[in-house]
């Protein structure tokens, strides 16, 4: 808590007139470019590694960056965030971002010991298919540890879950929405994007960034 309180004081002291003007405008409404779905892990900070400003990203974070697949009785906060980003904010892009050394992926591999965390156990079921796919031989980068392989496959599985929502499918079919898979390597502070043609997560360096920008 001491670090947080001091951080708030430092933020106020260092706030420039330009930043104050930005926040004054944001108070009137938000028009983010992207729905960014990430893990709750404290080491994953999208605004930091994507160098974005307040108002640029509408962020959905939860354990394991998981999205329950569509069902007629779907009732969860992830769906609520997706609906709001599509219908109210009209975002043109969704990014699902997994990361290395994810505790949720480790929990899928190792299980949860004891009788605690029943809600966590129930939530992780949305990642079980990723675990099963890897253990049945599916992988993108076999040089990674098992839980990191699962983390990468899980990005693709959660994209499929998002696509299962009819209103998402409709916008994809009309080319009004794009969905992207990213993966953040914590140890090297590198961000990778999934390229379907190569079935690989490719480092977003200066060259790759220019290629991505040319396609948008």
* CATH number for 187: 3.40.1050.10
* Token reading at 77: 């906060």
pLDDT at 3: 83
Q: Are both 65 and 160 inside the same structural domain?
A: yes
What is the C-alpha separation between 105 and 152, in angstroms, rounded? 10
Q: Pick out the residues of the known binding site.
A: 39, 41, 99, 102
Question: pTM score, two decimals?
Answer: 0.93
Shared domain for 16 and 42, answered yes or no, is: no
Annotated binding site for Zn(2+): 39, 41, 99, 102
Residue 72 in this model has a pLDDT that exceeds 70: no
Residue 56 has pLDDT above 70, yes or no: yes
pLDDT score of 214: 86
Task: Tell me, yes or no, whether 21 and 41 share the same domain.
Answer: no
pLDDT-derived band at 161, boundaries 50, 70, 90: very high
- Which of helix, strand or coil describes residue 142? coil
pLDDT of the residue at 43: 96
79 CB contacts (<8 Å, ≥6 apart)? Answer: 68, 165
Strands (E), 49-110: 57-62, 93-99
Statement to judge: residues 68 and 79 lie in one domain: yes
Yes or no: say if 3 and 64 are a contact pair by the CB < 8 Å rule.
no
Give residue 20's domain range.
1-29
Distance between CA atoms of residues 34 and 57, nearest Å: 5
Shared domain for 20 and 81, answered yes or no, is: no
């Amino acid at each position: 808590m001491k670090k947080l309180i001091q951080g708030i004081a430092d933020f106020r002291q260092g706030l420039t007139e330009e930043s104050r003007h930005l926040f004054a405008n944001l108070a009137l409404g938000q028009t983010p470019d992207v729905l960014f779905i990430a893990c709750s892990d404290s080491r994953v900070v999208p605004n930091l590694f994507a160098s974005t400003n307040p108002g640029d990203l509408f962020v959905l974070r939860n354990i394991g960056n998981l999205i329950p697949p569509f069902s007629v009785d779907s009732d969860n906060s992830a769906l609520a965030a997706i609906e709001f980003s599509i219908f109210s904010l009209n975002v043109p892009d969704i990014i699902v971002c997994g990361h290395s050394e994810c505790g949720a992926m480790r929990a899928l591999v190792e299980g949860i010991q004891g009788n605690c965390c029943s809600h966590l156990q129930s939530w992780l079921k949305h990642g079980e298919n990723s675990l099963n796919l890897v253990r049945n031989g599916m992988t993108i980068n076999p040089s990674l540890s098992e839980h990191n392989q699962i983390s990468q496959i899980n990005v693709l599985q959660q994209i499929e879950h998002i696509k299962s929502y009819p209103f998402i499918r409709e916008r994809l079919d009309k080319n009004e929405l794009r969905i992207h898979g990213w993966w953040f390597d914590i140890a090297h502070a590198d961000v990778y994007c999934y390229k379907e043609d190569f079935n690989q997560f490719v480092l977003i360096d200066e060259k790759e960034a220019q290629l991505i920008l040319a396609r948008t």
